[in-house]
Amino acid sequence: MLYENWLHISSLEIKTPYCPPLQKNISCDCLVIGGGFAGLHAALRLVESGKKDVVLLEKRICGGGSSGQSAGLVSPESEEDMQTVIEDYGKEKAKIIYNIPFKGTQIIIDTIKKHGFKCDFRKQDTLFLSIKKSHNNTILEEAKAKKEMGLSYELLDEKKLRKIHPGKGYTLGLRYPGSYGINCFAYCLEMKNLLLKKGVKIFEDTEVHRIEGNTAKTHLGSVTAKKILVCMDKIRKEFDEEISKKIYHIQTYLAVSEPLSEEQMKSMFPNGELMCWDTRWDFIYYRPVEGNRLMVGGSSPWTAYYPRYYHSPKVIEYCINEIKCKFPKIKDIRFNHYWSGLIDATKDLIPIVDYDKKNKSIQYALGCAGLNWAAYSGDYIARRAINPKETEDLREFLGMHRKFYFSELFQKIFGKRITFALSHLKKFM
Ligand SMILES: Cc1cc2nc3c(=O)[nH]c(=O)nc-3n(C[C@H](O)[C@H](O)[C@H](O)COP(=O)(O)OP(=O)(O)OC[C@H]3O[C@@H](n4cnc5c(N)ncnc54)[C@H](O)[C@@H]3O)c2cc1C
């Protein structure tokens, strides 16, 4: 297997111009830092609301961070399961929180449809699978939470499950609509083209090292702006020590197969495409993508919170073999490409979307674990920059100073890796 992001290869048809690095001092009305889903959507909202003078600075290329590495499961769900959110916040507040990924999903789908993006857009219902009887309760609890929130779903016993997903050994399934598959890197390229067409000035290969007052400093230039929207990832302590303590990452792996035959695809999805994930802690997920290929993703407890990129194919090979055991017809299929990525996340898996504590013209959308959360958060801070009075107030849930289960003192003693792992594992306790 080659360590290579297949999404880049499959997006070669989309032509985007080179946006050279910033090499002078400029000023503008609004500056966006970061060209992932959050930053691109922030910039789109600004120009679509009539802002004429928008600049976007990106350290690599647009989509060069998590957004262009993602499996592209766009679902109204969150990384944080609904049952946990209801337990932590109560039903009414859980509804407000769950509305965020729901609206984020809508923003992404509307953008694709409105602008005719070519990004392998596929309607794929979600199928959440129990891998053994002792895990059935997780599915039943999620079904209960969906019922409480008035969302549609279908519970599938083994017999019903086999009709739509004949994998061996699954004991219960939960199917729900409203989810879609996309090629995220292609989406970012299409967004970049759209923003350029709408007059946004984009500088790639341009890292912001620090912000002084209302000026963002880069290696060879600077941008002074009335409003600054920070949508970057992996924020370092040199950039902002306090915020950097609140964000860590979860490492995950993806692989894409060579094309499957129609018969092989039917052996997995006899009644239409689905995006599937299972009840393991380090859940394995898979879905069909462009060219009748299969995309498989997953992680492991040993690598998920590893401080750096861990490039070994071992984790994803394990995930692929698990799927092959469930579907013998694909046992000889090869997976030629694999890659890994670090998903930024906070301790409660809900992003930090807040004003800078000293300067209200600077806002942050950070630690967005999920494309839908990122799209919403970028859009939200842009709306708030334009018209704060008419923007919903979500500080209670997204604010930088909200309380987390494990305190800063705990984190100081046990370190980021353990604190974040335990915080995310809390839902299984
Ligand atoms: C392997 C993998 C699979 C995933 N699968 C899914 C999935 O199926 N569904 C889902 O919903 N989510 C998935 N995710 C998560 C999702 O991709 C992210 O949550 C989302 O893309 C975050 O978007 P963002 O804009 O906040 O961050 P990013 O996409 O990381 O964007 C931040 C950008 O800021 C830039 N930047 C950083 N520092 C600076 C600086 N100093 N100056 C200028 N620019 C800077 C970076 O280069 C980057 O492009 C996956 C992630 C990975 C890694």
Q: Are residues 215 and 263 in the same domain?
A: no
Last residue of a domain, one of 326, 345, 364: 345
Q: Are residues 339 and 370 in the same domain?
A: no
Q: Are residues 418 and 289 in the same domain?
A: no
Q: Are residues 319 and 397 in the same domain?
A: no
Burial classification of residue 412, based on how many CB atoms lie within 10 Å of its CB (0-12 exposed, 13-18 middle, 19 or more buried)? exposed
Tell me the two tokens of residue 372: 């839908």
106 is a domain residue: no
Distance 70 CA to ligand 1 centre (A): 8
Q: Are residues 129 and 261 in the same domain?
A: yes
Distance 257 CA to ligand 1 centre (A): 23
119 is a domain residue: no
Task: Kindly report the CATH number assigned to the domain that includes residue 212.
Answer: 3.50.50.60
* pLDDT tens column, 190-218: 999 999 999 999 999 999 999 999 999 99
Instruction: Determine the atom of ligand 1 nearest the C-alpha atom of 34.
Output: 34
- Ligand 1 neighbourhood includes 73 CB (under 6 angstroms): yes
Q: Are residues 31 and 171 in the same domain?
A: no
For ligand 1, atom 53: residue with the closest CA: 341
Q: In this structure, are strands 122-123 and 54-57 parallel, antiparallel, or unpaired? A: unpaired
Ligand 1 binding pocket mutation candidate from 66, 247, 363, 366 (most atoms within 8 A of CB)? 66
Last residue of a domain, one of 293, 327, 345: 345
105 is a domain residue: no
Q: Which band of pLDDT confidence, cut at 50, 70 and 90, is reported for residue 94?
A: confident
Q: Are residues 340 and 352 in the same domain?
A: no
**Average pLDDT over every residue of 253-277:** 97
Task: Kindly report the CATH number assigned to the domain that includes residue 162.
Answer: 3.30.9.10
Q: Which band of pLDDT confidence, cut at 50, 70 and 90, is reported for residue 148?
A: confident
Q: Determine the Cα–Cα distance for residues 106 and 93; give it in Å rounded to an integer.
A: 20
Last residue of a domain, one of 345, 377, 403: 345
The number of folded domains in the chain is 2
Tell me the two tokens of residue 66: 């998590």
Q: Are residues 159 and 264 in the same domain?
A: yes
Q: Determine the Cα–Cα distance for residues 218 and 223; give it in Å rounded to an integer.
A: 8
Instruction: Determine the atom of ligand 1 nearest the C-alpha atom of 285.
Output: 8
- Ligand 1 neighbourhood includes 42 CB (under 6 angstroms): no
Q: Which of 85-94, 165-174, 299-308 has the highest mean pLDDT?
A: 165-174
18 is a domain residue: no
Q: Are residues 239 and 204 in the same domain?
A: yes
Contacts of residue 313, defined as CB under 8 A and 6 or more positions apart, other chains included, come to 1, 3, 338
CB atoms within 10 A of CB 17: 9
Tell me the two tokens of residue 401: 């100073």
Structural domain span for residue 129: 125-178+248-345
The three-point CA angle 169-171-176 to 5° equals 120
Q: Which band of pLDDT confidence, cut at 50, 70 and 90, is reported for residue 122?
A: very high
Q: Are residues 147 and 233 in the same domain?
A: no
Q: Which band of pLDDT confidence, cut at 50, 70 and 90, is reported for residue 428?
A: low
CB atoms within 10 A of CB 373: 27
Identity at 408, one-letter amino acid code: E
State percent of the chain over pLDDT 70. 99
- Cα four-point dihedral sign 146, 150, 153, 156: positive
Q: Which band of pLDDT confidence, cut at 50, 70 and 90, is reported for residue 429?
A: low
* pLDDT tens column, 392-410: 999 999 999 999 999 999 9
Residue 351 · residue 81 · CB < 8 Å: no
pLDDT at 177: 95
80 is a domain residue: no
Distance 37 CA to ligand 1 centre (A): 7
Q: Which band of pLDDT confidence, cut at 50, 70 and 90, is reported for residue 425?
A: confident
* φ and ψ at residue 187, rounded to 5 degrees: -60, -45
Mean pLDDT of the chain: 94
326 is a domain residue: yes
> 110 to each of 121, 262, 390, how far by Cα in Å?
12, 31, 22
pLDDT at 86: 80
95 is a domain residue: no
Residue 206 · residue 218 · CB < 8 Å: yes
394 is a domain residue: yes
Q: Are residues 65 and 150 in the same domain?
A: no
Q: Determine the Cα–Cα distance for residues 223 and 200; give it in Å rounded to an integer.
A: 14
Q: Determine the Cα–Cα distance for residues 126 and 75; give it in Å rounded to an integer.
A: 8
Q: Are residues 173 and 279 in the same domain?
A: yes
